Amino acid sequence: MKCFHSIRWRLQLWHGLVLVLVLTGFGFTAWQLQRTNQLSRVDRDLEQRMGIVTGMLHPPRNGVIQERPRPQGFSPANRPSFENPPEEPLNLRLPPRELNHFEGIPGQEFYYIVWLRDGRQGALSTSAPPDAPRPEWLRMPGPPTFRSRGTFRECFRYVPTGECALVGRDIHAELADIRRFAGLLFAAGGGVLLLGLVGGGWVASRSLRSIADISATAAKIATGDLTQRIHTADTDSELGQLAHDLNNTFARLQASFARQAQFTADASHELRTPVTVVLTQTQSALARERPADEYRESLAACQRAAQRMRGLIECLLTLARLDSTEAPAALEACDLNRIASEAVELLQPLAQEQGIALEVELASAPCLANAGQLAQVVSNLVSNAIHYNRLGGSVRVTVGCEADTALLSVCDTGEGIAPDDLPHIFERFYRVDKARSGAQGHSGLGLAITKAIVEAHGGTIEVTSEPRQGSVFKVRLPSAAAAQLQGDGKREQLK
């Protein structure tokens, strides 16, 4: 019974059922029409002859009713009439002119029977079946009524004087015709059903082939081969659209897995350096007895490596947290102006140390944000601007409002970023000068974290840079009023 769970067989079954129903309906209607057509032709002939027979039942004006053969003991006194019904059934002969309508047509022998008011047969033609019963229903004068009796088709009528006239004919030839027609219909219907089932099966298997392709590709991807894609020639159909969407999903999955793998490799690589430092230092310290100064130096090197590892682990944790949640936790109304001024103040000593002039131009810029995370954004951008600056350069931090956004701009006069590197600087672990930055604790995660925080707040970050001229980083966040409206909108959607 497993086959009935398959879509193909279910489609086939329903298709077959519908086809059988349609063909049966069509065949029955055609058979009924043919039968009605045949019978109505016979009925027209019967009705025409009924007129002749009922004419016989009225008192003849010119005495055309003849009796043949005359029964024994016939006398004008007991001559059958409708007022004086005969004791015995009589074979009344119609005038030869009228008789032609009943006899002499090969294969079409019409007969008539007349029953008197008391139910006895009063007249019947020679070809009339002797056992024909008088119609017992609708015993009242009216228009001719028709009945089918075995292979006979009969028309009867009660006349106002109470007699019943019946005209009939053996219609076995017509019935055979109808049966032959039914047989033809059955054969043609069977042929059409067979063709329909074969055609339907072909169409179903053709349409479902795409599903089989999708299923096979998904199975290959499930085993780990993320390079597989569904081949769809028929991209206009619903299945083509589905395959297109699935291919996009597979591509995103592949890219995401690749990023994940790259991220893990980079993180391991970054962690390996400080771990190697710790191992080398401890190994050489433990190799032999050393003066206290050397131990102190080894311990200091281990401490620096541990701090570097801690910094890296904190960055990784921050990124993991930002990746796992859509919106930052603990949003509060805050002023970007205050956050920026505090962060800049903390970095002032570093700027002085590097000989960089740190200028600020701050105006109120209220926004709805996680103050700690925003401080990290300002700190990352300003420390980069100091770090990648030239000796005697300057950094300008500007905060203000622009339309519905709070704007932070960090502009430096540093070495700038080459156009080739510019699209990649927000990628995780991307460093323009790998040798230099890695050694100084710059792991290439600062801008990735900055971008993730800004986007989690519904903002944007952009950079413009001129090599040997400097770079400008601009962060735009929804202002407090806009963020409030956005939050209300999201809450409405959730309801």
Q: What are the beta bridge partners of residue 397?
A: 360, 410
- Least gap, CB of 445 to ligand ADP (angstroms): 6
Distance CA 183, CA 31 (A): 10
Query: Binding string, 226-245, against ligand ADP, x = CB under 6 A?
Result: --------------------
Q: For residue 443, state whether it binds ligand ADP (rule: CB under 6 A).
A: yes
Specify the residue, 156 or 429, whose C-beta has the smaller distance to ligand ADP.
429
CB of 210 or CB of 471, closer to ligand ADP: 471
Q: How far is the CB of 430 from ligand ADP (least distance, A)?
A: 6
Q: How far is the CB of 359 from ligand ADP (least distance, A)?
A: 15
The region, left, alpha or beta by phi > 0 then psi within -120 to 50, assigned to residue 189 is alpha
CB 477 within 8 A of CB 464: no
Give the position of tokens 């995660």. 445
Nearer to ligand ADP, 23 or 445 (CB): 445
- For the sheet with 152-158, list strands across it: 121-124, 110-115, 164-170, 152-158, 145-149
Task: Kindly state the smallest distance separating residue 440's Cβ from ligand ADP, in Å.
Answer: 9
Contacts of residue 331, Cβ cutoff 8 Å, sequence gap at least 6: 368, 369, 370, 483
Q: Closer to ligand ADP by CB, 94 or 319: give it.
A: 319
Q: Which residues, 464 to 483, sit near ligand ADP by CB under 6 A?
A: 471
Site string for ligand ADP, 379-418 (x = CB under 6 A): -x---xx--x-----------------------x-xx-x-
Closest CA to 169 of 125, 116, 226, 119: 125
> How many residues of this chain bind ligand ADP (CB under 6 A)?
22
Closest residue by beta carbon to ligand ADP: 446
Q: Which of residues 49, 157, 169, 442 is near ligand ADP by CB under 6 A?
A: 442
Contact 9, 3 (CB under 8 A): yes
Which CB sits closer to ligand ADP, 114 or 343? 343
We find the least distance from the C-beta atom of residue 427 to ligand ADP, in angstroms, to be 8
Position 274 contacts ligand ADP (CB under 6 A): no
Stretch that binds ligand ADP, among 38-46, 110-118, 370-378, 427-435 (CB under 6 A): 427-435
Query: At closest approach, how far in Å is the CB of 385 from ligand ADP?
Result: 5
- Report yes or no: 311 and 441 within 8 Å, Cβ to Cβ: yes
Pull the structure tokens for residue 248. 């996009």
Please state, in angstroms and as integers, the Cα–Cα distance from residue 155 to each residue in 33, 42, 95, 114, following that order.
20, 10, 21, 12
Q: Which two tokens stand for residue 413?
A: 């006069």
Figure out which of the listed residues 91, 254, 398, 437 binds ligand ADP, where binding follows CB under 6 A. 437
Q: How many CA atoms lie within 13 A of 91 on its CB side?
A: 13
CA atoms within 13 A on the CB side of 326: 2
Q: C-beta of 235: minimal distance to ligand ADP in Å?
A: 40
306 phi/psi in degrees, rounded to 5: -65, -40
* Binding track over 337-376 against ligand ADP, x by CB under 6 A: ----------------------------------------
Burial 375-400 (b: 16+ CB within 10 A, else e): bbbbbbbbbbbbbbbbeebbbbbbbb
The reply to whether 308 sits near ligand ADP by the rule CB under 6 A is no
What is the signed CA dihedral for 317, 322, 328, 334, rounded to 10 degrees?
A: 70
Q: Which is nearer to ligand ADP, 152 or 426 (CB)?
A: 426
The least distance separating ligand ADP from the CB of residue 249, rounded to whole angstroms, comes to 29
Give contact residues for ligand ADP (rule: CB under 6 A).
380, 384-385, 388, 412, 414-415, 417, 425, 430-433, 437, 442-448, 471
